[in-house]
Each structure stands twice: as C-alpha cells, then as structure tokens.
Amino acid sequence: MAFDAYDDYEQSELVQKWLRQNGVSIIVGIAIGLIGIFGWQQWRNHQASNRAQAAQVYQQIQSAEAAGNTAMADQLVERLQTEHEKSAYAVFATSERARRQVAAKEYDKAAGSLGWALAHAEDPALKGLTQLRMAQVQFAQGKAKEALATLDQLGDAQYRGLSQELRGDVLVNLGRVDDARKAYQSALSALSGDAPQRSSLQLKIDDLAAAGKQGA
C-alpha cells in the first residue's frame, strides 16, 4: 500500500509539474483550435451568404432583361462586379451583357465586357466559352488576326465544333483557304451526326471547293 500511495503521489506530482510547464501552451492550443473551428464556420457562412446574395442579384438581372429594362440590368451587372467579383454569377451576367451589346452592334463595349469576364472566370469551361465569344466579337470588329490569336488560346475540346468553324471563317477572311478547309473539316468531325450545324458547315466546305475549281 505504501508503494501504491507513493506511486499515486509521485504521479500526481509529475502531472502537476507537467501542467505547470505546459498548461499555458495547452490552453492556448485549445483556444486557437476553437477559434479556428469558429473562424472556419464563420467563413463558410460568409461564403454561403455571398453566394446567395449574388444569386439574388443575378435573378434580378434576368427579370430586368425579361422586362426589357436593360438600363436596370446593366446597373445590376455593375453591382455584381463590384460586390461579388469572384462569383461565377458576375461572369455569367457580364457575358450576357456582352451578348446584348453584340446584338446592338456595340462591339467595343462587348469586348470590354468579355475582357472583364475573362479576367475573372476561374472555371475552365466557362473561361473557354468566354474566349470563344471574345473571338467572335473580335471577328465582328474586323480584327481577324486578333480573333485567330484568341482561338489559339482556346483549349477546351468541349467547344471544338464551334471554335473550328469560327477559325475557318476567320481564315477565309485572311485568304488562307486551305487552312480554312481543314478547320471546317475538323469542325465537321467534332459534331455529332444529327447536329444541325453539319449542313451549313458542309455548304462552306463545298463553297471553298467550288471557288478553288473556278480559280484553277
């Protein structure tokens, strides 16, 4: 019993000594851990709140567009860019504004909108789609070489049919007929058998062949 009592006493002393030496660091560690957990939860809540707010503004933009109130829609796009610039909703809304600007033949404004969207798009598929739209706008501006350079940066195979067809159009404009034919054929091979674009693509290929025969 004496030895047992001694061992209990010694163990108690060792524990108390260890706590005196390390107690502060343990308490600090626990506090930091709790702060970290709390901070992480707060950050997640903040992120969720931001996403919800961005989604709400995006819905308001769609409602304004449906009502034909483009001025209000543009104001809301600016708000998304300012308050939620890292949100995909801001990229979506800015790209849709560019579509409206293209419809109004405001190509310089559309290029500016797409430039902002490109700078803030993080998702590869979304970035690729934005690059494709930028190339379309550049081509509409008469900037064929710039459009071709933008298409060269496009790496997403998801848009291969569209990008190769546009590449063919740009190359025709630049007088590079053989390269254009290859681009059109690449676009054709990327499309499914029932794709509606196949007929128009085939017409472009046939037109190039006919033009080649006439020039021969």
- The domain limits of the chain are 70-143, 156-216
Q: Quick one: CA dihedral 43, 48, 49, 51, positive or negative?
A: positive
Residue 133 has a CB neighbour count (10 Å cut-off) of: 22
Residue 180 near residue 208, CB atoms below 8 Å: yes
Q: How far apart are the first and last CA of the chain?
A: 115
192 vs 128: CA distance, rounded Å: 20
Q: What is the number of other CB atoms lying within 10 angstroms of the CB of residue 214?
A: 7
| H-assigned helices in 67-196 | 70-83, 88-103, 107-120, 124-140, 144-152, 160-173, 177-190
Residues near 181 by Cβ (< 8 Å), separated by ≥ 6?
Answer: 168, 205, 208, 209
Q: Which of 1.20.1440, 1.20.58, 1.20.1690, 1.10.287 would CATH assign to domain 156-216? A: 1.20.58
Q: What is the pLDDT of residue 97?
A: 93
**pLDDT by residue (tens digit) across 44-95?**
554 555 678 888 888 999 999 889 999 999 999 999 999 988 888 899 899 9
pTM flag (> 0.85): no
pLDDT in tens, 115-169: 999 999 888 888 888 999 999 999 999 999 999 999 998 865 678 889 999 999 9
pLDDT tens-digit readout, 173-190: 999 999 999 999 999 998
What is the Cα Rg of the chain in Å? 31
Dihedral of the alpha carbons of 148, 151, 153, 155, in degrees to the nearest 10: -150
In angstroms, the CA 61 to CA 74 distance is 8
